Amino acid sequence: MRSLPRSVQVFLLALTVLLAFYPVFGEMLVGDRYDYWLQKLTSVMILAIMAVSLDLLVGVTGMVSIAHAAFFGLAGYTMVMVAPEWDAGSIWILLPAAVLAAALAALVMGVLIIRTHGIFFIMATIAFSQMIYYIFHDSDFAGGSDGTYLFGAPTVELFGRELLNLSDRVTLFYVTLVSLLLVYLLLRTMLRAPFGRVLFGIKENEERVRAMGYNPLYYKLVAFVIGGTLAGFAGVLSATQYQFIDPSQVNWHLSAEVLIMVILGGLGTLWGPILGAFAFEGLHYWFSSMTRYWELPMGVVVILMVLVLPKGIAGGVMWVADKLERRPSQKVQREETAAGRPMEVKHD
């Protein structure tokens, strides 16, 4: 993974700073709607954590997984089931339990399907994630199709002293922002290490990676479990924010929406999917404010995106950055694009 051009770095940093200062200037900007947007931004950042972790699977390793919501929701449900019924649970118990449950589910699912490719892999991820969906949907231990409540946000205490109050919305906003940055930096560091190079290699040509003496199955499985674990972490934040969970948060439609965020933002770039999460939720908000049938314009946007904009927002940002900086590598890249996108023929 190469370093980003300076102008893109500045652009992303500026966006982050702008976001971080929302609690300061938000009231001036949106007035009464301050609280609504504070919560909205928090929930979008949670989705962005999901999107960036899905990018590790889809964009980097080339595994099109539609099971991310299963790990997200499973973590939330685990929190509800582990927490005391009439009291707020401790984060030191709930967080490890929930993340571990997501990781374990990803490991079991991964072992079963990691050897498959292409469409078969896609179908198997959808099918297994729906299995988790139906377990919660049909169950009576977790509220069935109505969903269930968490009694208060988890407490963060050390030696009896409260460190953070997660039911405070501004605190949760900053906790989520820092989490998103940490997840991004973690994945970025990982992809610059040899581990990440193997993953990129698997996407390009799995057989060649095998011929070089790496076992692609092992690397794919590790990536799948890391992705699922991070989705579970996002699920913990979401359950903390809403203190409520229902089967729709486990449904594959959520997985597909996160996948759209990844593509909309820009596949394999990590920072693109974060922008994609904001763009998708922005469109969602805009369409919903216009019509009850927001799926209709959204469906049209998704289809147009596939047909017209395969590189996503990140592709556009990089194009502008290239124009601005006139980098020496510009000519080479031009030639690459002029030659057209290399055609991939996959038969499986």
Partner 1 sequence: MDLSLFLIQTMNGVQYGLLLFLIASGLTLIFGIMHIINLAHGSLYMVGAYLAFWISSYTGNLFLSILLGLPIAIVLGIVIERFLIQRLYDRDHLDQVLLTFGLILIFDAMQSIIWGNDVHGVPIPDALRGGIMLTENLAYPTYRLFVSGVCLAIAVGMFLLIQKTRLGMIVRGGASNREMVSALGINIRWVYTLVFAAGAGLTAFAGMIAAPISSVYPGMGNSILIICFVVVVIGGLGSIKGAFLGALMVGLVYTWGTVLVPQFAGAAVYALMAAVLLWKPRGLFA
Tell me how many residues contact partner 1 (CB under 8 A): 51
Cα distance between residue 237 and residue 239, in whole Å: 6
DSSP notation for 46-109: HHHHHHHHHHIIIIIS------HHHHHHHHHHHHHHHS-TTSPPBHHHHHHHHHHHHHHHHHHH
What single DSSP character describes residue 140?
S
Helices (H) and strands (E) in the chain, counts: 15, 4
Query: Residue 279 CB, nearest distance to partner 1 (Å)?
Result: 15
Does 302 bind partner 1 (CB under 8 A)? Our answer is yes
Q: Looking at 58-66, 192-200, 224-232, 316-324, which segment touches partner 1 (CB under 8 A)?
A: 58-66
Report yes or no: 67 and 130 within 8 Å, Cβ to Cβ: no
Torsion 51-57-62-63 (CA) sign: negative
**Single residue of 307, 332, 338, 339 touching partner 1 by CB under 8 A:** 307
Shortest distance, CB of residue 284 to partner 1, whole angstroms? 11
State the nearest-atom distance from the C-beta of 295 to partner 1, in Å. Answer: 4
Residue 256 parent element (H or E): helix 252-265
Choose, by CB under 8 A, the member of 14, 18, 131, 212 that binds partner 1. Answer: 131
Candidates 4-12, 132-140, 146-154, 160-168: pick the segment binding partner 1 (CB under 8 A): 132-140
Binding to partner 1 (CB under 8 A) within 242-281 occurs at 252-253, 256, 259-260, 263, 267
Binding site for partner 1 (CB under 8 A): 58, 64, 66, 112-113, 115-116, 118-120, 122-124, 126-128, 130-131, 134-135, 137-140, 252-253, 256, 259-260, 263, 267, 292-296, 298-303, 305-307, 310, 343-344, 346-348
